[in-house]
């Protein structure tokens, strides 16, 4: 039986933790920031998703000593020049208000025919001295109004390519199978499983 890897996920977002723990299954013991007693307001001063993901992972590794990973996710709307992008969680204000963020996005897209967008997630893993980056994305369109009560963030206004419903109308299993975070985390888990196997050889 493979030994479980214990890693800190640099977040206290309950939705992210639930999604990721479900995807990881029994192979990983994933701790949150609360689990390690971290209530720091980690600065997200990067200009890209990659920079913010690395900042958060390094913060935990350097101050708490745990091997860890951090993610940063952005919704990029083509007709808005990539907005909200790195500011997705703080689009309307610094209060991480999902309803306000969606309202602002829909207002900016009023009358816009090109509603193509993509979600992109960058995961940075730090193990010892090694840093590894994983990226996942999913393309789709921004709907004209919110639909569904599942998911979080912009899920009620994002309809993936080939779907007739938004992420918020899908089950967790359906979303995780194709989502940006799901794709990035699948790479992370595959990498960790391979590392554990190689270390036992």
Q: Which residues are catalytic?
A: 72
Buried b (16+ CB within 10 A) or exposed e, 26-43: eebebbbbeeeebeeebe
Longest Cα–Cα distance in the chain: 59
138 near 116, Cβ under 8 Å?
A: no
- Helices 14-24 and 180-200: crossing angle in degrees, nearest 10, is 50
Backbone phi, psi, residue 134, to 5°: -125, 140
Residue 84: DSSP 8-state: B
- Across the chain, where does the E strand assignment appear? 5-9, 28-31, 68-77, 116-127, 130-142, 158-160
Q: Which helix (H) or strand (E) holds 20?
A: helix 14-24
């Amino acid at each position: 039986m493979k030994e479980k890897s214990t890693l800190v996920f640099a977040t206290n977002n309950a939705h992210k933790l639930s999604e990721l723990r479900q995807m990881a299954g029994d192979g990983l013991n994933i701790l949150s920031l609360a689990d390690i007693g971290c209530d720091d307001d980690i600065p997200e001063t990067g200009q890209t998703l990659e920079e913010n993901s690395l900042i958060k992972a390094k913060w935990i590794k350097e101050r708490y000593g745990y091997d860890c990973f951090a993610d940063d996710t952005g919704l990029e709307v083509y007709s808005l020049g990539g907005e909200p992008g790195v500011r997705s969680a703080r689009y309307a204000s610094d209060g991480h208000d999902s309803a306000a963020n969606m309202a602002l996005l829909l207002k900016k897209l009023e009358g816009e025919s090109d509603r193509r967008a993509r979600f992109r997630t960058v995961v940075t893993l730090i193990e010892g001295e090694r840093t590894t980056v994983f990226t996942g994305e999913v393309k789709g369109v921004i709907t004209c109004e919110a639909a569904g009560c599942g998911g979080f963030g912009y899920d009620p206004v994002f309809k993936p390519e080939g779907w007739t419903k938004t992420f918020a109308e899908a089950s967790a299993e359906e979303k995780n199978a194709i989502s940006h975070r799901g794709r990035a985390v699948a790479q992370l888990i595959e990498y960790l499983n391979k590392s554990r196997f190689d270390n036992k050889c």
